[in-house]
Structure 1
């Protein structure tokens, strides 16, 4: 019987662990536009296109402990020539919101943000490599190929040739990167999308029907029922004459 109770306890702990909301260290500044999550930054050091009118957006709730709160509504300003699910700004102009993975270091990016030119000293050779993107930031790309991860710097001389300059590079996107090796750094000269454009997962909102890990209550209850059934079966097997 001791063994049976250990199994029951293990199943119970598993269900509790699944159903406990994940603790978040902090809440990012963000807005949701047409289902796309845009991350907020101070607008002082960005080159911003002219405004193209106000639109409604979602202000996601910061549920970092305590009672769950619903998302709210807000108003943001579109940019001329830039899709609203790529970038917008706050009405007062103090913040800009942009899709993760958009390479603003590119000189042709409509929201160009200068990070300075990467020093191209001791540049020995050029190479071209294809693979899948890992993480991409304002001025860097991780490329995963042949089981190895390589990081490429991006600057104003880098060119994205077959997508709009604002197109975000999302994890899993197939790319070909022509680069120059300068010392220990790989600096991207030319970036080409070689597979279908990966569409970001749309934001579904905060609801009471999901838990911290995005697991519906129905699945948690099913796991609990499965655990109880397993425990009953083990008890029956152990106590059977």
Structure 2
């Protein structure tokens, strides 16, 4: 059975005391209100990871993800954080390929493949982000474009390695715009990506991969999105910064 996951990407938000307060509120709300086996993954700024870890370690529902890691193993790369460092700090997941990293830091599919490799080599599970811009959706084979992101960054992996990866589809045109893909649009892409994996690795492997939807998810939109057969949860941005809103999204899962 595929893991049900709701991840909250805090991006470059919250000061330390605010981050601690948000985490404490979330742990209490989720433990009190959320039923089922949904996994909640918090993605705070890297500086806060060891602190936030102390606040969630008594709850089996929660885990942590870094927002990025280097494609290099170690060395003279000032300001970078390696996957080995994340593993040594007890961090179980890392976001790789978020659209903001692709856009602002020019991360190519080839670079992302190396990040995936170093994460897996250090037993850190990648949450691999993929998605298309509004221009690509309107003027090109947008499904083929997103499939190619998987092909170039993930399809060198063995089936066993791929099963440690979580995929997050994030239509770039629905991030920070207030727009959300309809449940039908999101399901179309999720089904296409799962089918693409099945063509390469077989249906059994494809059915084990959790594919999350990311793109202005709110409590109002979450239930319909998460009811789709190929959507296994969400990668939530702005709404994850509000404890009540994020808890309501988790409950929808």
Q: Same fold (TM over 0.5)?
A: no
Greater radius of gyration (CA): 1
Query: Hey, which of these two has a bigger chunk of strand by percent?
Result: 1
What is the TM-score of this pair, normalised by structure 2?
0.24
Query: Hey, which of these two has a bigger chunk of helix by percent?
Result: 2
